[in-house]
Structure 1
Amino acid sequence: MARIERAFVALNGAILVLVLMGMALILGWNVAGRYLTGNSLTWADEVARYSMIWLTFLGSGLALREGAHAAITNAQDALPTGGQRALRALILVVLFSFFAFMVWVGVDYMNRMAVQRSAALRVPMKWIYAAMPVGFALMIVHLALIAPRYWRAGLQQSDEAALG
C-alpha cells in the first residue's frame, strides 16, 4: 500500500510539474515573441489562466498532505490525548463531507457550463471547470491516505502501543 501511495503522490507531483513547465514555456514564448517580433500569441494568457486554475486544484491535495493549508492547533494541543483524537476524528469527518460536497457541486457546475466556450481557444468551459471536482476528488484520496496518521498524530509511543 505504501508503494501505491508513493506512486500516486509522485504521479500527482509529476503532473503538476508538467503543467507548470508547459505554462512557463508558453508564457516565455509569448513574452519573447512580443518583444522580439511585436506579435504575441492570442491564446497564451488564456492558457496561463486555465493552467493556473488546474495547478491550484491538482496541487491542493499535495498541500493538504504536507500540512500546508492554514491550521490552528492551539485548542487541539490543549486537549488530553483522547480529546485530541476525538477532535481529529471530527475534523476528518467534516473534511471528507466538505470535499465530497464540493465534488458534487463541481460536477453540477461543470455540467452547467458545458455549452459555453472559452474566448480564444474555443475549448468547452466544461473542461476548465472540471478542475474543481477533479481537485476535490484528489483531496479525498490524499486525505484518505493520510487520515490514519493524522488521527494518531500527537500520541506518545506508549499510547500508540497501548491502543495497538
Structure 2
Amino acid sequence: MTKLSDESHVSGVAKATSLLLGSKSAVYKLSKWVAILSIMAMFLSLMTGVIVRYVLSTNLGWVSEVPNLFFPWLTMSAIVAAAAKNEHIGINLIVDNLPSAARHLVTFATNALAVTAFGVMAYYGLDVIEIAGGQRLPITKVPMSWAYWSVVIGFIALAIVSLINIALLLTGHDEHDASQVPQGEEVL
C-alpha cells in the first residue's frame, strides 16, 4: 500500500512540475511573440516612412510616433522572455557552488524578493498610467498610457515567472540542473 501511495505522490509532483514548466513556456512564447510583433510594427512603419519620403517627397508624421508606442513593449517582452528561460543576467558562480539546501534557500529568497519588487512596481505603474492616460501623441492621438501598460504588464509577468520558480522549487525541481540549460531556440 505504501508503494502505491508513493507512486501517486510522485505522479502528482511530476504533473505539477510539468504544468509549471508548461506555464513558464507559455509566458516565454507569448512574450516572444509580443517582441516579434513590436519589431515588425516599428520596421514596417519606419520603412513606409522612408519609401513615402523618397517616392512622394513628403513625410508621414505618424511614423515617428510608432516607436514610442512599441519600443517599450519590445523591451519589456524581451525582459520577460529572458526571465522565463532563466537567461537573465546573473552571477551564478557562488550560488552554483553552494550545497543544495543553501542553493534552494538563496533561489527561494531571490524569487520571493522578485515577486514583491515586481508586484510593487506594477502597482505603482498603475498610477503612472492614470497620469499618462490624459496625454496623447500629437498626430495619432493614441494615449501615452498604451506604452506604459507594457511596464505594468511586464512586471506582472515577471512576478508570475518568479512565483512559478518558487512553486517549481517547492516541487523539488532544481533550475540549476544541467538538463535545464537551453540547447538553442525551439521552433516557433
Q: Which residue of 2 aligns with 1:38?
A: 57
Q: 1:79 to 1:8 in 2, by over 3 A?
A: closer
Equivalent residues in 2 for 1:21-36, closer than 5 Å: 21-36=40-55
Q: Which residue of 1 aligns with 2:33?
A: 14
Q: Which residue of 1 aligns with 2:104?
A: 85
Q: 1:57 to 1:83 in 2, by over 3 A?
A: same
Q: Which residue of 2 aligns with 1:72?
A: 91
- Displacement of 1:89 in angstroms is 0.8
- Displacement of 1:134 in angstroms is 0.9
Equivalent residues in 2 for 1:1-164, closer than 5 Å: 1=19, 6-147=25-166, 148=168, 152-154=174-176
Q: Which moved more, 1:1-10 or 1:129-138?
A: 1-10
Q: CA RMSD in A?
A: 2.5
Equivalent pair of 1:117/1:125 in contact (CA under 8 Å): yes
- Identity between Structure 1 and Structure 2 (%): 23
Q: 1:7 to 1:153 in 2, by over 3 A?
A: closer
- Displacement of 1:155 in angstroms is 5.8
Give unpaired runs (5+ residues) of structure 1: 158-164
Q: 1:146 to 1:87 in 2, by over 3 A?
A: closer
User: Aligned partner of 2:98: which letter?
Assistant: L
Equivalent pair of 2:116/2:159 in contact (CA under 8 Å): no
Count how many residue pairs are aligned between Structure 1 and Structure 2.
157
Give unpaired runs (5+ residues) of structure 2: 1-18, 180-188
- Displacement of 1:6 in angstroms is 4.2
TM-score (norm 2): 0.72
Equivalent pair of 1:81/1:155 in contact (CA under 8 Å): no
